[in-house]
Amino acid sequence: MSPSESAVAEIPTAVGLLNAYVPIFLASFVTALLATPLVRRLAVRQGIVDRPDQTRKLHAFPVAYLGGLAVFAAVIVGILLSYFSSESLVLAADPVPIAVLVGILAITFTGLADDVWGWDPRLKIAGQLVAAAALAIQDVGVRVAEGVFRPFLGASDEILLDLGAIAIVNGDLYYWLGTALVAAFVLGGCNAANFIDGLDGLLSGSVAVMAVGFLAISVVMATHAGAGADTASGSRIVLSLALLGAVLGFLPYNFNPAVIFLGDCGSLLLGYMCAVIILMFGDQGQTHLVFAGLIVFSVPIMDTALAILRRRLAGVSMATADTHHIHHQLRRSLGGVKRAVFTLYGISAAFSLLGFTLAWMVLDTMVRVRVVYAVAAVLFGLVAAFAIKAARRVQWQAGMSNETVGATPGVPRATAPRRSPSETAVTQGSSA
């Protein structure tokens, strides 16, 4: 029996997998650790810095952008190492699809162009769609749609519509639905990550926590009894470890007080990487594993959903920036950037644990545990209720202030209720 056949026949252990793949993590970590100071020096020399404005950007001094380039270099090094060391890895599985690398290049260029030249939002969306199209061409994530719709429409080889000379089968519909779903995941993941990149170390640290969750799910999928036929097992582990190493190597420079920011180049790339890994959980149509990945990614999803709801209620454009994101509200409530960031790390860890629990239950016991969904829904609801309440309170206070300013002379004005220092802080500015 050849080494590759032996690797497929034997189910690897979790420890064996981590031992085999850990060089990828170390390569990405060291690359980010060494590349970040070099990128920072380049950004400062070229004047690509984020200057404080004392409203949304409260950092004390200009901070370099382009941190995403260091993360990009670290991720690429980890992925390329997996190509050259594939014979020594435990899993005899397909390498990371070339389409993923094409998407990484497209997303990084799009974010870099916006950081340097300030691209039109439509061009940014176009760049993200190019990355999504590359995934669809190589069928990365396309089968997720089949897992969603198969219970209603049937197998992919069944005829959906018979027009006599032409017959449309379910597989054709599944492909186009899957392509649309891939585009939605990429656009949603990139922009959701961009939304929470508002405090020093928040996005990079949160993605590190999520990457641990993705890695745990990937390992349990690979060690499952039926994983021998899962050719994407190795790719998921490689991407999770490359992502984890890249953000951990970057985090010391990005944590409060930050000396370099991710910029759109980095935030879009991290969102894209998370979206790709989640899509690859469903490469065999396992929708419950995709839901598990989405649970891990819950914090960016929640913040994006609440931002859309908040701006809809306020009657302003979806593109209008504000200081009422979850991290802004926590910063004001808890009285500091680090407290808010660590709180969100904890929330991300809780959702990552829930996502892993769901995946383990589905794979190891074949039981689809509704309790996990219920707990995730409760956590999601509590955070959402807190955020909506805080945003509504700010709107109410702003309305009271406008009424006070516009009061008619000689007419008694309504006395505003006394506010605690923490409530007063809600009306103040926040960091970028």
Residue 69 has pLDDT above 80, yes or no: yes
Q: Please, which residues bridge with residue 162 across strands? A: 167
pLDDT category at 130 given cuts 50, 70, 90 is very high
Count CB-CB contacts under 10 A for residue 83: 11
Reported as a single tens digit per residue, the pLDDT across 281-300 is: 988 778 889 999 999 999 99
Residue with more model confidence, 290 or 424: 290
Reduced to 3 states, what is the DSSP secondary structure of residue 160? strand
| Average pLDDT along the chain | 80
Percent of the chain with pLDDT over 90: 41
Residue with more model confidence, 313 or 13: 13
Tokens 């894209």 correspond to what residue? Answer: 272
User: CA 288 to CA 282: how far, in whole Å?
Assistant: 8
Residue 170 has pLDDT above 60, yes or no: yes
Reported as a single tens digit per residue, the pLDDT across 140-156 is: 888 888 777 776 666 66
Query: What is the chain's Cα-based Rg?
Result: 23
pLDDT category at 414 given cuts 50, 70, 90 is very low
Residue with more model confidence, 1 or 293: 293
pLDDT category at 377 given cuts 50, 70, 90 is confident
Reduced to 3 states, what is the DSSP secondary structure of residue 63? strand
Reported as a single tens digit per residue, the pLDDT across 253-283 is: 999 888 999 999 999 999 999 999 999 998 8
Average pLDDT, integer, range 7-22? 76
Q: Which pair of structure tokens corresponds to residue 291?
A: 């839901």
Residue 426 has pLDDT above 50, yes or no: no
What are the residue ranges of helices labelled H in 138-259?
A: 144-153, 170-195, 202-222, 233-254
Compute the C-alpha angle 315/316/319, nearest 5°. Answer: 145
Residue pair 188/297 in contact (Cβ under 8 Å)? The answer is no
Q: Which pair of structure tokens corresponds to residue 290?
A: 């995709």
pLDDT category at 347 given cuts 50, 70, 90 is very high
CA distances from 189 to 69, 71, 134, 300, 316 (A): 19, 17, 16, 8, 23
User: CA 387 to CA 194: how far, in whole Å?
Assistant: 18
pLDDT of res. 260: 93
Average pLDDT, integer, range 389-410? 59
Q: Which residues contact 317 (CB under 8 A, 6 or more apart)?
A: 311
pLDDT category at 62 given cuts 50, 70, 90 is confident
Residue with more model confidence, 304 or 284: 304
- pTM, entire model: 0.83
Of 269, 289, 233, the C-alpha closest to 95 is 233
User: CA 130 to CA 101: how far, in whole Å?
Assistant: 12
21-39 burial code (b ≥16 CB/10 A, e <16) = bebbbebbbebbbebbeeb
Q: Which pair of structure tokens corresponds to residue 341?
A: 């960031």
Peptide bond into 412 cis (omega under 30): no
Q: Which pair of structure tokens corresponds to residue 314?
A: 């306020």
CA distances from 69 to 80, 116, 125, 236, 383 (A): 16, 12, 20, 22, 32
Percent of the chain with pLDDT over 70: 73
Of 188, 207, 148, 186, the C-alpha closest to 351 is 207
Beta pairing class for 49-50 and 167-169:
unpaired
Residue with more model confidence, 75 or 228: 75
User: CA 89 to CA 238: how far, in whole Å?
Assistant: 10
Strand extents, DSSP E, 224-376: none
Reduced to 3 states, what is the DSSP secondary structure of residue 162? strand
pLDDT of res. 303: 87
Count CB-CB contacts under 10 A for residue 172: 13
Residue 47 has pLDDT above 70, yes or no: yes
pLDDT category at 29 given cuts 50, 70, 90 is very high
